[in-house]
Chains A and B, each alone.
Chain A
Amino acid sequence: MGVTSHRGAGRGAVRDELRRAVGKIAAGSAVPVFPMAGVGGRDAARRIRLSRRLEVVSSPRAANVLLIAGEITPRLLRPAIRIHDQASPPRATLFLIAGGAPEPDVPSKPEAGSNTEVAAVESALRTHAIRDRFFPFAGLVHQESEVEAASRALHRDLVLAERATEPAIQPDRPPLPWRGRGPYGHGGKGMTGGAPYGRPLPERGNDRDGLQLDRLPLRIGPFFPPLVPGLLLDVELHGDVVQAAELGPNPFSGYVGASATCPFMRALASPVRIADLELSRARSHLRWLSDALHALDLSALSIRALALAERLEADNVPLISAELARFSRRLERSRTLTWATRGVGHIRVDQVGDTHGPVARATGVEADARCDDIEYLALGFRPIVHDDGDAWARWRQRIGEARQSLRLVTQAGDRRSGGAGIVEDPRGMIRLQTHTLDSTSQLLPELVTGREWGDAVLAAVSLDLDLERDARLTSVIEEGR
C-alpha cells in the first residue's frame, strides 16, 4: 500500500511538473483582456489595445482578465457582475480607479482640493465599496500605467495555478421547473407554450414582408464591444434585422459632474488656448477612428489610429499631421471601406434637429460654434461640410476635421477662445444659456430600425456617441439652472 501511494504521489508530482511547464508556455502569451469601461474609464479601456502584451477579446468567454476601468454606477453593476460570471475560468478581475484617487484608508483632505478632486475621491470611494462588497477577490491599480503589469501578473498566477480562479458572484440557481404538462412532456399550451429550461420562447410579430416570424426582444449593452460603453439599446430582432429599437436609460446620469481636465468644459467659463482645444479635438476624432476601424475588423489599423491619437502632443504636430495625411489617403482610397459604409445610417437634413457637430455637418448643415468666434475667424476657419449624410460622409468628416484641427494648432500660436458659455467640442455645440441638449444619441433608434444588424452597428459607430458626455452636459446645464 505504501508502494502504491508512493507511486501515486510520484505520478502526481510528474503531472504537477507537466502542468507547470505547460503553464509557463501559456503564461508567456498575450493576456486576453475583456475591458469594461465605467465613468472616466473609456480612454484607459481603449488604450489597452496599444499594449502588445495584452490582447483585447470581443467576448468575456475568451478572456482571462476582466478589466473594470473607472467607476461602476448602479446601472452598470449588475451587467458587470453578469459578465464576470460569464467569463470562463480561470478568470480574474482588475479594477482601475480612474484619476489616480487615493486609497480609502489614506486620510484624504477634500477641503484642500477643488470640487473635481472631491468628486474623484467620492467616486473612488464608491468603487472601493463596490469592489469590497461584490469583487473582494479582484486586483486593484490606481494608475493606468500599472494596468499592463498587473494584468500580466494576474494572468501568470492564473495559468500557473498559483491563484485560484474567481468564483461566480451570482448564486447558482437552477432554471424553473417546466416539464411534464403537455401530452409529450412539454411545459405548456401548444408547442411554443411553456418556458423550456426556465426561459420562454420568442413570440411572433409582423414583419415588413408580410411574414409573421419570431421577434427576439433584447437589451444589448452596456458592455457590448462594438457599441460605445454604457449604451443600452432595447431592440427587437426579426432574423438579423432590427425591427424596433429604443434607447435605454443612460447609466452615467447623475454620476458625472463637470470635469476640470477637459479643455472644452473649461472653455465654457474662461478662455482656453485654441491650440489646446484643437489638439483635444483631433485626439478625440482619432480615437473615434480607432474604434470605428476596430468595428470593421481592422484591428491593426485601429491600433495605428489610436497610436496617432495618443502620441499627439503640441510639439509633434507636423509629424503626426504628415502621418495622418498618409493614413487618411489610404483610408479614403480603400474601396472596401467605401463599400462598407456608403449609404449606411443615412440621415436626412430634416432629421438633424438638435444634433450638432460632425454628424450635422456631414449631413450638410453648416453649424459650428467656431464660426461665430472672432479668434477662429481670424485664423481663416471655415467648417468642413459633406452633403451625403451617410456613415461614409461622417468618416470623411471626422478625418477631415482632425486634419483641419492639426492645421489650426500650428497657426493658432497663443490665441485663446471661449468664456462666452458656448463651445464647439468634438461631438457638437455646448451652450449654457439655452439649456438644450445635444440629441445625437436620440437619432440612433431611427437609424438602426429596419437595418440588418451589421449596418445598425456601423451606423451606431459612425455617430460617435459618448454617453458620459451626455450625462455631463445634463449635469452642467442643471447646475446652470
Chain B
Amino acid sequence: MTDVAAGVLALGVALFLGVYLVSVLDRFVSDLVAGHGLTANVFWAGPRRAVLLLLQQPSRTERPDAEAWAFAPALLGALGALGLATIPLAPELPLADNADGIVLFGAAMALVMVAVFLHGWSANSVFPLIGAYRFVALALSYEMPLALVLISAALPAESLSVGEIIRSQTDVWNVIRQPLGLPIYMVTVAGLAFWGPLRLPDAADLSGGTRAEVSGPALAAWEVGRSMVLVAAAAMGAAAFLGGWLGPWLPGVVWMGLKTLVLLVLIVWSGHHLARVRTERFVVVAWVVLIPLALIDVFLSGWLALAAR
C-alpha cells in the first residue's frame, strides 16, 4: 500500500514538474529565438496564464456536443497521466509497470486520438472540425511507427515491461544499439502531443484548430493535458532509448529526469524552428518512409538481440 502511495505521489510530482518545465522551456526557447532578452518572466508566464484562463468564462457554440467537449481535455490529461504511470521513474517506483507495459502505454497513446477528435468535433464549428479530422489522419500515420520502435526496444529485454526494457540497457543504451529507434520515436512524439512541425490539429492556418472555440478553464485544461502527454512521451523515450534511471553517481530519479529533460528540450526547440508540415505529405512520408524504417529497425534489432545472446 505504501508503495502505491509513493508511486502515485511520485507520479503527481513528476507530472506537475513536467508540465511546469514544458511551459518554462517553451517560453525560454521562444524568447531566445525571437531575440528577446531573457528575464525571470519565463518562470511565471505559464502559471499566470493558467490563472488568467481560470478567471475567463467558458465558451459555448450554438449547438455543441457539450458533454464530449468537456470530456475531451479531461481525457487527454488522464491519458498523459496513465502513459507516465507505465514508466518506472526509478527502480523503486514502479507504479503501473507490468509485463505488458508498452502495450498499456500504446493503448493510452492510441486513445489520445479519441480525445483530440472529440475536442474538435464537439464545437460544431468548421475549423475545429477540420482540425479533428486532420489529427485522425496524423494519428493513423504515426501510430504504427510508434508501436514498432517500442517493440524493437522490447526485443533485447525479452519483455514488454518498461522496467525490464530499462534493465536490458545496463551495458549499452538502446539509442546506440538501435540507432533508428530514437529519431523515429521523436517524430511520433511530435505527432502525439501535436507539437512543432506536427501541430496540425491546433494549427495557425485553422486559427487555432480544435481550440478555436475554446476559452477559459477548458482551454487551460487542454494545454495542460497536451503538456502531460508530451511529458509522458518524453519520459518513455528516455526509458526505452536512453536507459531510464541508469547512470553513475546520481540517484536514478535524477537520471530519469535529466534524460526526459533532454528530450523535452529537443522537442520544444524543434517547435520553434521547424515549420508545420502539410498533413497529406506527412501521411505519405509516414507510410512510405517511417513505417518501413521502423520495420527495418525491428528486424535489425532482432538480429542484434539474437547475435548478443
B residues sitting closer than 8 Å to A (CB atoms) are 29-36, 41, 44-45, 47-49, 51-59, 62-63, 126, 130, 133-134, 196-197, 199-200, 203-208, 211-216, 219, 272-281
Contacts and interface: CB of A to CB of B under 8 A. Distances in A.
Interface stretch (A73-81, A142-150, A251-259, A335-343): A335-343
Q: How large is the interface on A (under 10, 10 to 19, 20 to 34, 35 or more residues)?
A: 35 or more
B278 A454 contact: yes
Q: Is the interface of B mostly helix, strand, loop or mixed?
A: helix
Interface string A362-398: 0000000000000000000000000000000000000
Interface in A176-203: 196-199
Nearest to A452: B280
A25 B48 contact: yes
Contacts of B52: 26, 29, 32, 64, 159
B277 A29 contact: no
Interface in A22-69: 22-23, 25-26, 28-30, 32, 52, 57-59, 61-62, 64
A59 B275 contact: no
Contacts of A454: 134, 200, 203, 205-206, 278-279
Contact of B215 (A26, A62, A340, A457): A62
A237 B126 contact: yes
Contacts of B34: 299-301, 303-304, 307
Contacts, number: 163
Contacts of A199: 62-63
B215 A337 contact: no
A216 B129 CA distance: 12
A170 interface: no
B207 A59 contact: yes
Nearest to A323: B35
A296 B278 CA distance: 10
14 contacts: A23-B55, A28-B48, A29-B51, A30-B48, A62-B208, A197-B62, A198-B62, A225-B204, A226-B204, A299-B30, A299-B272, A300-B34, A301-B273, A339-B281
A420 interface: no
Nearest to B52: A26
A175 interface: yes
A392 to B, nearest CB: 11
Given A61-B213, A199-B62, A304-B33, A90 B56 contact: yes
A64 B53 CA distance: 10
A162 B278 CA distance: 45
